[in-house]
Amino acid sequence: MYIYDEIDQQLVNERVVQFRGQTRRFLAGKLSEEEFRALRLRNGLYVQRHAPMLRIAIPYGLLSSTQLRKFAHIARTYDRGYGHFSTRQNLQLNWPALEQVPEILAELATVQMHAIQTSGNCVRNTTTDHFAGVARDEIVDSFVWCEIIRQWSTFHPEFSYLPRKFKIAVNGAAADRAATAVHDIGLHAVRDASGEVGFRVLVGGGLGRTPVIGHVMQEFLPWQHLLTYLDAVLRVYNRYGRRDNIYKARIKILVKDLGPGKFREEVEAEWVHLKDGPATLVSEEIARIEGRFTRPEYAACPATDAVHDAALEADRAFSNWHRRNVHPHKQPGYAAVTLSLKKTGVPPGDVTAEQMDRIAGLADRFSFGELRVSHEQNLILADVRQSDLHSLWREAKALDLATPNVGLLTNIICCPGGDFCSLANAKSIPVAEAIQQRFDDLDYLHDIGELDLNISGCINACGHHHVGHIGILGVDKNGEEWYQIQVGGNQGEIRPGPGASIGRIIGPSFARAEVPDVIERLIDCYLDRRDSDAERFVDVVHRIGIEPFKERVYGNTDQRSSHRRRQLAAV
């Protein structure tokens, strides 16, 4: 955990006082709806379908058991006893009262937390790999760089009223587990021949209405220049990004309109003035930030544990869980564990206050009191001793957190959708549930192998449907909910194979009840066409294209036109 110093704490406290005053002025009629909106959003407060929604920041997805217990307390005291972990590694409360939000922020500040810039047209929470600091393929500990960016972006005076929201992701490992290619800025740590750290900088990626893979602006930006380069990119965006049309205001549109080459020139022209200026990073600062992170004190233990191995042999349910939910660790004798928030029947990412308290207990006993939120909406205990895995599994199972489906089809990423969100065109949670029910046979799921299935309830793509190997998008047609299916998306190069890519739509959309059948047909097609079980669904789509999948779903041309007729008749 990064531990605040006095100044970090003071700024968060001052933010609470500021927002308390703003809320008071709004309630007294001294601030208009529109003016207050801009202020409340940058404190995470939305006005939603049923009630306000508060999005609490979990910087780069890292939190302590103390903080999680505070969430549980807040969920019980100010809300309906549960919260929702989002794909931005944040926590959302769906029912707080506007008048009480300053109180909630004050409670959060006591455990070094806040809701700063979790919404609004500013730099949002920086996200990263949920295995940062423990991954075997680590290049740098991305948490350190995320914290540097957190400080740089917090209350940035020049970049607090950008044309639109701005999302940065940092990846510090060889595999890209942070989806850097689909962020406004993606930073991928690399080392040059001499071992010096730098960043490959991608700009202009994103999902939403116009999904784009980011363009490489720098192959190797030496770490000292990180902040001045970010300043240069943001200044070009702040000055020239479109402000006339909310749908064309993201940086990806500016990069596209100027062309990546011209955009790079603009940034370089700006950077010339900022490079080597006072914002240039120095190694003492990196060391200072590193020094403020607490580190687990690992016990020296053997890389293998005979009792653990025997349990794997003896207990099939345990070994199934181990196979999917336990991940390698750079420290011998330790492992990282995913606690699944994807049990069938529970909206993906939802956790009750009771579970939060229990999970905090698990973190204390098994993982040095820390946990992480993954952008796949699960929780991670990153530092578990191998010899503890069996006990942890039994307890996680009792809490319904041991669904052994990480990386599999039923580990669905899903936005809150039409059940909760005022932007949604369609419900997403019932679709996730129907698919999970259809694919409830674990052996079958394991046979299908790794598959990301992502669902968004509208074009804003909070459920990351564009980068699901199978993506489902809820659309509205004359007031009815329909679902468009795409295949071949990929969030990034997590293993050798296709890099980040945007899925392609297979054809006309479906009614909600048809969706599980469609998924089944896509899976059948994949199973028929794969070379071996090492070839994933997404690999097959990239190898053979979408046509065979299309044909399996819609049939030949005649069958397609009859599907179309049926659909038109239904509308």
Partner 1 sequence: MATLIKDRRIVADNWLLSRRGPDGELPELPSRGEVIVPLGLWQAHRGDFLARSGALGVWLDSHEDPAAIASDLDRINLVAVNFPKFGDGRGYSIARLLRERHCYKGELRAIGEVLRDQLLFMAQCGFDAFALREDQDPDEALAAFDEFSEAYQTSFVQPVPLYRRRLPASRP
Instruction: Check binding of 496 to partner 1 (CB under 8 A).
Output: no
**C-alpha 121: how far from chain center:** 19
Instruction: Check binding of 239 to partner 1 (CB under 8 A).
Output: yes
**Nearer CB in complex with partner 1: 157/261:** 157
Query: Cα-flanking dihedrals φ and ψ of residue 210, to 5°?
Result: -120, 85
3-class SS at 15?
A: helix
Number of shown-chain residues binding partner 1 (CB under 8 A): 46
Q: How far apart are CA 164 and CA 354, in angstroms?
A: 37
Instruction: Check binding of 328 to partner 1 (CB under 8 A).
Output: no
3-class SS at 195?
A: coil
Q: How far apart are CA 322 and CA 318, in angstroms?
A: 6
Instruction: Check binding of 17 to partner 1 (CB under 8 A).
Output: yes
Among 30, 191, 316, 477, binds partner 1 (CB under 8 A): 30
Among 162, 226, 414, 487, binds partner 1 (CB under 8 A): 162
**Nearer CB in complex with partner 1: 3/310:** 3
**Nearer CB in complex with partner 1: 39/106:** 39
Q: How far apart are CA 388 and CA 323, in angstroms?
A: 16
Give the shortest CB-165-to-partner 1 separation in angstroms: 13
Instruction: Check binding of 295 to partner 1 (CB under 8 A).
Output: no
Beginning with the edge strand found earlier in the chain, give each strand of the sheet holding 480-487 in spatial order.
413-414, 453-456, 470-477, 480-487, 504-505
Determine the residue type at 25: R
Contacts of 122 (CB under 8 A, 6+ apart): 42, 153, 156, 159, 160, 161, 162, 165, 166
Among 51, 111, 216, 279, binds partner 1 (CB under 8 A): 279
Instruction: Check binding of 29 to partner 1 (CB under 8 A).
Output: no
Instruction: Check binding of 261 to partner 1 (CB under 8 A).
Output: no
Contacts of 562 (CB under 8 A, 6+ apart): none
Report CA torsion sign: 182, 186, 188, 192.
positive
Among 92, 154, 378, 428, binds partner 1 (CB under 8 A): 154
Q: How far apart are CA 507 and CA 501, in angstroms?
A: 18
Instruction: Check binding of 66 to partner 1 (CB under 8 A).
Output: no
Tokens of 180: 């850097």
Instruction: Check binding of 28 to partner 1 (CB under 8 A).
Output: no
Among 3, 27, 97, 299, binds partner 1 (CB under 8 A): 3
Instruction: Check binding of 216 to partner 1 (CB under 8 A).
Output: no
Give the shortest CB-226-to-partner 1 separation in angstroms: 12
Instruction: Check binding of 39 to partner 1 (CB under 8 A).
Output: yes
Instruction: Check binding of 437 to partner 1 (CB under 8 A).
Output: no
Give the shortest CB-40-to-partner 1 separation in angstroms: 11
The neighbour count for residue 475, using CB atoms within 10 Å, is 15
Instruction: Check binding of 287 to partner 1 (CB under 8 A).
Output: yes
**Nearer CB in complex with partner 1: 291/332:** 291
Instruction: Check binding of 175 to partner 1 (CB under 8 A).
Output: no
Nearest to 289 by CA among 223, 230, 336, 235: 223
> Is residue 30 within 8 Å of 101, Cβ to Cβ?
no
The neighbour count for residue 353, using CB atoms within 10 Å, is 20
Give the shortest CB-177-to-partner 1 separation in angstroms: 27
Tokens of 443: 């052996």
Give the shortest CB-75-to-partner 1 separation in angstroms: 28
Which spans of this chain sit near partner 1 (rule: CB under 8 A)?
3, 5, 7, 10-11, 14-15, 17-18, 22, 25, 30-31, 35, 38-39, 121, 151-152, 154-163, 227, 235, 238-239, 243, 273, 277-279, 282, 284-285, 287-288, 291-292, 294
